[in-house]
Amino acid sequence: MAYLPLKQVAECPSRSIATEWLESLSATLADPLTDRRLLCRTVLTELFRPELAGNWETALNDKNLPVATRLALTSMDPCNVTLEPEYYADCDQERFQRVKPLLWLWYSFDRSLAGGQNVWLGVELRRLLAKYIFKRCGENFKSFQNVEFSFGYNMDVGDNVVVHRNVLLDDRGCIVLGNNVSISDYANIYSHTHSIVDAKDVTNATTVIEDGVRITYHATVLAGVHVHEQGMVGAMAVATKDVRPYHVYVGIPAKSVRVKPNAPQAATVLRTSSDRQTDGR
């Protein structure tokens, strides 16, 4: 099999402008007195309607502007939008309101001309925002576009984590991502469940993805599942129970089909308690 490392891409002519913008944003976020709501509103207005950036409040009352334009302007301010987690009974409103402006900036930037598909700039901005949203964010975090969270503040993320496009990270009950974790496009990781009798009966459970794990394309990891070190959840698989270290799980529900060739003592890799219960050992 061919080994295909990533290519080095030539630096864009606009890199210096983007770097200047990121440095300014970083300095503003580092100031504990920064009004995050105002920061979000200013940045989004500058990105989407720069001609109105200096007089946002005046423009809202300008009857010469189409009402749809004024409506769009209101959404630059996160206080004028509601995100789904705000309706959850278990949402810590004080914590969520602190991260909400940064989540809204993250989501909106992904839909902007400046950043959604711009890989380098998008990764750098999300890495910056993650440090102020997550419970913990390690070094070299990399997220591509259209990644969404529940609360955001219940994300515990290690070093060198990569999250690809269109991933849902439902951290309602807490998600722990170890070092060197890779989550592929369209994957879903959950940390809450609903009763089959009453959908309003919600159980939160921490979902743990250990070091070196790969969650591949369109895979789903359900709440409370523990994917052990170097485990792999294959494409389209649904992990309903713990995944053994160095094992590859596929299918619905996901089951082990092989042990990775780099496993230490492959035949005696640690079995999880759920696996022992399933086969009666």
- Distance between CA 107 and CA 267 in Å, rounded? 45
Supply the pLDDT for residue 8: 80
For residue 270, what pLDDT is reported?
A: 56
Q: Give, to the nearest 10 degrees, the angle between helix 93-109 and helix 36-48.
A: 20
Checking if the pLDDT of 57 tops 60, the result is yes
pLDDT tens digits, 212-262: 999 999 999 999 999 999 999 999 999 999 999 999 999 999 999 999 988
In terms of Cα–Cα distance, which of 132, 82, 138 is closest to 106? Answer: 132
pLDDT tens, residue by residue, 105-159: 999 999 988 767 899 999 999 999 999 999 999 999 999 999 999 999 999 999 9
CA 196 – CA 60 distance, rounded (Å): 46
Q: Are strands 220-221 and 202-204 parallel, antiparallel or unpaired?
A: unpaired
pLDDT greater than 80 at residue 180: yes
Mean pLDDT of 29-52: 95
Rounded Cα distance between 267 and 281, Å, is 16
Q: Torsions phi, psi of 147, nearest 5?
A: -90, 135
Enumerate domains of the chain plus CATH numbers: 134-279 (2.160.10.10)
pLDDT of residue 14: 83
7-35 pLDDT, tens digit per residue, is 788 778 788 999 999 999 999 999 999 99
Angstrom distance (rounded) from CA 18 to CA 118 = 11
